[in-house]
Amino acid sequence: MTMASQLFSPIQLRGLTLPNRIVIAPMCEFSAENGNATDWHLIHLGHLALSGAGLLIIEATGVEPRGRITPECLGLYNDENEAALARVLEVARKYSKMPIGLQLGHAGRKGSLRNPADGQGRGHATEAEGGWQTIGPSPLPFAADWPAPKEMDRQDMDEVSAAFVQATVRCERLGIDLLEIHGAHGYLISSFLSPLANQRHDSYGGSLENRMRFPLEVFEAVRAAWPEHKPLGVRFNGTDWDERGISTEEAVLFGQALAARGCDYADISSGGNGFAKIPSGPGYQVRFASRVKDGAVMPTMAVGLIREPAHAEAIIASGQADMVAIGRGFLNDPRWPWHAAEELGVRIEVPFPYSRAATRADIPSYAR
């Protein structure tokens, strides 16, 4: 492999070395049964593990039943969930050496949604549809036609923190290489950080110091339960795209607080706490990753409509971010790293049965 490409250079996160900077972003599949991974996950994660990316992160996984986004979302809160995911991982690892991470999440007030695949939209699921009472920092519904969440008290916070810890222990038993806490998009951790969702009047609301108190408690609990040699990152918003919400300056301060507590990288996204119009486009969130990288002095992962290999290469080469996470691009092209390698003149290792797939005349075959 040539080292001319920064995108295909390795990166060290604690005891884990990623062979390149391409990350398969966690993507909800709405295909679990009672939180259990199914044959769909076996196919989905299995073929992505053959893609040549540096890291595969499993979709947002609820740490308790009420932490799922929909009744069909993945969970890791009981032995059955753990066994189902173990089956998927066993098969994927049989054919791939790719590091596998997992995103631990709690949907908070944005949970209990109908499965978008049922054609009824993203409305709130009723009890008959498998829905549940949601929780949040304040009793504010995300949308006008949604039920209000229960305002979390100390017992709720302790239960959620304990659920994150138990899921972390299960991840270690499963041999997960990296953990990411989902603190973006208006889900529970994100809602505590944002004034749009957090309007508490106690020590967990008001100032940024107060609003990030519970998110930092969760992080510290997970870091203490996760092996010292394994990396732990957090996905959080670089902005809410609303002057009343979290600002980029606050995001940097949150990143600094995380870095001081042993966070290994920040995965910077945006939005989801309200209905602000987001000016999306290729790399529209990269500048937020760059701000957090510089301000918090911590590696960052850039996300958001990064589709072209040259664009991804430029992000890494310019130092705007240390990794690029691609979601929809992988759904469209599960062999994205192969094509990026061809375009950037890099040879990468792929499974032998696929080694005849090279298309460029100057790269007669992939390394095997």
User: What single DSSP character describes residue 241?
Assistant: S
CA gap 67, 136 in Å, rounded = 11
CB–CB of 111/67 below 8 Å? yes
CA gap 303, 295 in Å, rounded = 18
In the numeric block, the tokens 């979390």 are attached to: 152
CB–CB of 163/63 below 8 Å? yes
Of 82, 93, 79, 74, the C-alpha closest to 34 is: 74
The helix (run of H) or strand (run of E) holding residue 326 is strand 323-326
**Concatenated DSSP letters for 61-84?**
EESSGGGSSSTTS-B-SSHHHHHH
Of 303, 162, 301, the C-alpha closest to 224 is: 162
CB–CB of 12/20 below 8 Å? no
CB–CB of 118/78 below 8 Å? no
Q: How far is CA 84 from CA 50, 77, 91, in A?
A: 21, 12, 12
Beta strands 11-13 and 16-18 are antiparallel
CA gap 307, 65 in Å, rounded = 34
Q: Which residues are marked as active site?
A: 187
CA gap 1, 344 in Å, rounded = 11
Q: Quote the tokens at residue 319.
A: 């130092």
Burial degree of 155 (CB within 10 A; 0-12, 13-18, 19+) = exposed
Region label for 201, one of left (φ > 0), alpha (ψ between -120 and 50) or beta (otherwise): alpha
